[in-house]
Amino acid sequence: MEISQKLAISITIWTVLILVLIGGQNTELFVIMILIGLLIARELSSVYIRPSIADRLDAFIQVGIVIFVGVVMRRILSILEIL
């Protein structure tokens, strides 16, 4: 089995596990947990993956970081009672 297949299976298992643990309750936490899974997968697979796959994985992580910043901003605004 190729490393990209292993990566896809690992991320799928992680996502399903997070979905089972969090359920339909907290979407923000769910998204952040997926981002953490992506970061772990990127770090652990960095030696094994081809640069093209690494670039694609980085693109997913960048989108996740943008969402994470949005979540944090939303929290800050809600704490400051602006939102």
Partner 1 sequence: MEKHRLLKPEYSSKLIGILFISISLYLFLLTDHINAGLAAAFIGIFTMLIVHYPTVEEDVAVAELKSGILSYHNILEDLDLSNNGVLIPPNDNLTESRVYIPAGKMEYIPDIYDEMTVVSSGRGRTGVSLVPPGQPLLEEAKDRIEYSIEAKGIESGRECMGHLSKGMGLAKSFSFRKKDDRIRIRITLDRYEDYCENLRESSSNICTRTACPICSAYLTSASEVLSSPLKIKDFEKEKNHIKYELEEV
Q: Which residues bind partner 1 (CB under 8 A)?
A: 2, 4-5, 7-8, 11-12, 15-16, 18-19, 22-25, 27, 30-31, 34, 47-53, 56-57, 60
- The DSSP symbol for 29 reads H
Minimum CB distance to partner 1, residue 80 (Å): 26
Minimum CB distance to partner 1, residue 53 (Å): 6
Minimum CB distance to partner 1, residue 5 (Å): 6
Nearer residue to partner 1 within complex by CB, 8 or 72: 8
- The DSSP symbol for 25 reads S
- The DSSP symbol for 83 reads -
CB 6 within 8 A of CB 57: no
Q: Angle at which helices 51-79 and 27-45 pack, to 10 degrees?
A: 150
